[in-house]
Amino acid sequence: MTAQPESEQQMLPGLSAPRPVPSRSETGLALATDLPIARLCVDVAPAHLDRLFDYTVPAALSDDAQPGVRVKVRFGAQDVDGYVMERAASTTHTGNLVAIRKVVSPQPVLTPEVADLARRVADYYAGSLSDVLRLAVPPRLARVEKEPTALETRAASGEIGETGAAGAEPDLTAPDLTAPVPTATTASSVTAWSVYRGGDAFLGRLRAGDSPRAVWTALPGQGRTAGWPAALAQAALATASGGRGTVVVLPDAHDVDRLAQALVEAGVPGWSPQHAAEQPEAPCFVPLTADLGPTPRYRNFLAALRGEAQIVIGTRAAAFAPVADLGLAVCWDDVDAMHQERRAPYPHVREVLALRAEQTGCAVLVGGLSRSIHAEALVRSGWAREIVADRQTVRTETPRVEALTSVEVAREGPAGAARLPGAAWQAITKGLLDGPVLVQVPRAGYLPVVACVRCRTAARCTACNGPLALHGAHAVPQCSWCGALAGGWRCPECSATGLRSVRVGSDRTAEELGKAFPGATVRVSGARSASGILSEVPDKPALVVSTPGAEPVAPSGYSVGVLLDAAVSTSHVGLYTDQEALHRWITAGALVRPSRLGGRLLLVGDAAPTPTNALVRWDPAGLAGRELDERAELSMPPAVRIASVTGDRHAVALFLSRVTLPEGGSVLGPVDLPEPVVAAQPERAPSVGRTGRPAVSRAVQPGSGTARSRAGGGLEAEVRAILRVPVARGRDLARHLAAALAVASARREAGLITVVLDPKEML
């Protein structure tokens, strides 16, 4: 957003040299005498319009139309939003320039650093700048902008003069983060990190103002081991003591709340206008999550923008938080799918923060209870160092894991065929004498998948061919896709009308456990359960049934954890099946007391041996390393970088003909797409069609074939091609794909092409 000698328009070949701007527009409107040209990023979707556009600045708007503010402009036949990226004295545009119609707000909301980061992210994912800015800057709320800033509050109270205490204009973009950290907090940070190899050194470098990059495999926080929220709070304090800010991105609001509590316990208060006015030099934090609601979220965003809060914690969008003098960027639990943006161009938080570190030179910490294959690749490449505990510490600070596979339960005879084997029943019975017991079930609901009671044929909806489910003991079967009721369902194979369970959900599991353990309190935690997601349960004997990711915290830890239906977690085909299964199990197991306090974790079911063995050893880094070795041999991500191109066969072939692959690149396919699972894939990647606007193709139900409506009418079978290049040429691939997308958009070609860089799956 700083002034450049030439705009993007000037860099195009064949354009004339910069020319002076007249003092008035074509309509007679007086223009600004100083820097009368504004270069804008306008919010338009077509890929070929992903560049800056020159507009004239009316004299009446010159003072407000500064870099970073929102404006309204005329683009073609419509009014669109935009951001002022820079002001200039001349333009190379040979035609008449349009004037800015309106400055939406004089408050600059887009800093030069965030604007540059958004451009880097767009280029990395072959997306557009306007799409990324929609992710980075929250919607405006005028009444929040009108609230007094901390500086205005202090001036009104007489604490400072109009020009600041020292008589100079205060610099809101460079807050003083050098306030001393309390001695007790500094001492506690040693306790949190000293159990890890390299932990104390990492904190020491943060305090010294260095920028280390690390991948941290955290231990469960029970007993004398500090949990990950306390460790992250101490890392943020160490960064603040070195005079810099921190951004911590977490998967969901529940994790944000846990970290917020740890920060308060470490002596860092949450931001408030009063605190910012009374103690402007003391570090404080703000949360940035969608769950806050529009008003608090925008208020917290402005607090970070104005330098009133030096620590920002939040979910995906917080990766773009405008923290001044950023010293540390943290991605916690990068395996979690919530870190993958749902909107174009679908960036991952881990990659956004890596690009931010490349841009600003800040420190990076990729941490989690498990380790992703991508994080392991960062360690292998030398880009980051690992922070881990030694094996003896891991054994004592994690629960004792027992895998109850078919081999183990066969010793029990016929009783071993039950969903809850005798060994698990005994462990739960004993655990209820000493505290709460956690039972994780991979599926929500009552009976999410049912089949014919006689021939075992899967029960499907007659309207859309979707799977039928039962939502209660006496409920009518209902389609999981279209919601249609199937009260008169009859098996098409044997004409039977009865149904049996194929998969058992958390609600039915809670019902069964209540009968098996009469007198025990049963709690259910899950997004679809009646009580919703529980954040915490008391340290009293109870059975807590939870779906993955909804496990509540017990203050003293669970006495026993049981992971039911383990085979379900590893039964589907995917690039990251084993990694995700281990992640779900370890996340639940981390809430169980360590082995030295008697904690036990039981894995029930014949899951895949690789993640099962990794769980028994509590060795997520080992699993990630083995997976990475296999992928290097097979040329699969993250050993290579891939992009998927999806659409009808003719459109895909035409698009591929325009893409120049970097050296070492190859194309796999195109091949016909398998039938989509609509319930598991509610969203699609952006498509470029006749308008060039990102779109979501309409879902097609299984049974009708995978197809897409064409512009000329009719259905065309979808195919997918995979482009694969060495990691070192990944950005070249993104650049070539962006160029091909721009051509397709400009030519308004029929059909839809979906291009996704770094897709999660190849099929």
pLDDT bracket for residue 168 (50, 70, 90): very low
CB burial class (10 A; 0-12, 13-18, 19+) of residue 649?
middle
284 is in an annotated binding site: no
Q: Quick one: average pLDDT of 199-205?
A: 94
Hey, which residues does 30 pair with through a beta bridge? 24
CATH architecture under which domain 400-629 falls: 3-Layer(aba) Sandwich (3.40)
Contact present, 525 and 471 (Cβ < 8 Å): no
Hey, which residues does 75 pair with through a beta bridge? 78
Record: fold of 183-394: Rossmann fold (3.40.50)
Q: Is the pLDDT of residue 704 over 50?
A: no
41 is in an annotated binding site: no
Tokens 């290049």, residue?
Answer: 725
Rounded to 10 degrees, the C-alpha dihedral 483/489/494/498 comes to: 100
| Residue ranges matching CATH 3.40.50.300 in the chain | 183-394
Average pLDDT, rounded, for the chain: 84
Residue 352 is inside which H or E element, if any?
A: helix 349-360
User: What is residue 422's predicted lDDT score, i.e. its pLDDT?
Assistant: 87
- The CA distance from 467 to 374, in Å, is 34
464 is in an annotated binding site: yes
Percent of the chain's residues with pLDDT above 90: 60
CB neighbours of 488 closer than 8 A, spacing ≥ 6?
none
Global pTM value: 0.85
How confident is the model over 499-539, as pLDDT tens digits? 888 888 888 888 889 989 998 999 999 888 888 889 899 99
The neighbour count for residue 116, using CB atoms within 10 Å, is 16
Percent of the chain's residues with pLDDT above 70: 83
Q: Where are the alpha helices (DSSP H) in 603-690?
A: 609-617, 620-634, 649-658
Residue 560, SS3 per DSSP: strand
How confident is the model over 686-700, as pLDDT tens digits? 334 333 333 333 222
pLDDT bracket for residue 409 (50, 70, 90): low
In the chain, the amino acid numbered 20 is: P
How confident is the model over 38-54, as pLDDT tens digits? 999 999 988 999 999 99
Contact present, 497 and 529 (Cβ < 8 Å): no
User: What is residue 191's predicted lDDT score, i.e. its pLDDT?
Assistant: 63
Structure-block tokens of residue 289: 């999550």
CB neighbours of 264 closer than 8 A, spacing ≥ 6?
270
Tokens 């369902």, residue?
Answer: 489
Pairing, β 400-404 against β 687-688: unpaired
362 is in an annotated binding site: no
Contact present, 39 and 129 (Cβ < 8 Å): no
- The CA distance from 658 to 650, in Å, is 13
User: What is residue 669's predicted lDDT score, i.e. its pLDDT?
Assistant: 87
Q: Quick one: average pLDDT of 645-670?
A: 91
- The CA distance from 558 to 541, in Å, is 9
User: What is residue 486's predicted lDDT score, i.e. its pLDDT?
Assistant: 87
Structure-block tokens of residue 499: 């149904």
- The CA distance from 445 to 529, in Å, is 7
Structure-block tokens of residue 111: 């800093």
331 is in an annotated binding site: no
Q: Quick one: average pLDDT of 735-739?
A: 94
Q: Is the pLDDT of residue 93 over 50?
A: yes
Structure-block tokens of residue 311: 């620590």
